Amino acid sequence: MLAGAAAIFALVMVLLALPFLRRGKDAPEARGIKVWIIGLGLAFPMAVLAALLAYGLTVGERLLPRAEDGAIRVEAEGRQSGWTFRYADQPGRSTSGVLHIPAGRPVDVDITTGDVIHSFWVPRLAGKLDAIPGYVNTLRIEADAPGDYAGVSAEFSGIGYAGLTFTVTAHDEAGWQAFLGDDPQ
């Protein structure tokens, strides 16, 4: 990577120096090089970066938790012994090591901890968010399809932190109703 970065840097410096080394400011070659530097060296990257910024802001806005959109709320508490999940719509219900969610619906996970700093990370569903003692962070996750998704604590939290894992199980509608206990069977 260093060699590639050095080569790109050298090329950019050569292209930058060429217009200034040419004699005759109106020479066609000098104008062409200036077009390369200003057009493709400044304008094109700025346009690409602006497009990427607009896309990132649009996608990021959808991931923000909102109270009015009917998202499921789950409390996740990390401890050195493992993760415990409590379901706001089901008072008294909790699971250890497995977070149950409905597939295709947004879920707001309120993340906290009772001992040391942990992190809540399900790479296939959302980014990493830290669990800090005495503070609640909210992360929006949504599984596109039913299945099991591996979650990890990516923050060093003491001996055995590498084994501090959990599973997110995304259910289809029938499986979610069965988990909630509303299944007529």
Give tens-digit pLDDT for 43-81. Answer: 788 888 899 999 988 887 776 666 666 788 999 998 888
Asked if the model's pLDDT at residue 21 lies above 80, the reply is no
**Taking the chain, what is the end-to-end CA distance rounded to the nearest angstrom?**
59
Closest by CA position to 155, among listed 122, 119, 123? 119
pLDDT of residue 13: 83
Evaluate if residue 185 carries a pLDDT over 60.
Answer: no
Position with higher pLDDT, 185 vs 104: 104
What pLDDT shows up at residue 1?
Answer: 81
CATH of 68-180, one of 2.40.128.20, 2.60.40.420, 3.90.79.10, 2.60.120.10: 2.60.40.420
Q: Cβ neighbours of residue 26 under 8 Å, at least 6 residues apart?
A: none
Residue extents of the structural domains in the chain: 2-62, 68-180
How far is 78 from 95, CA to CA, in rounded Å?
A: 12
- What tens digit of pLDDT does each residue of 130-150 get? 989 989 999 888 888 999 999
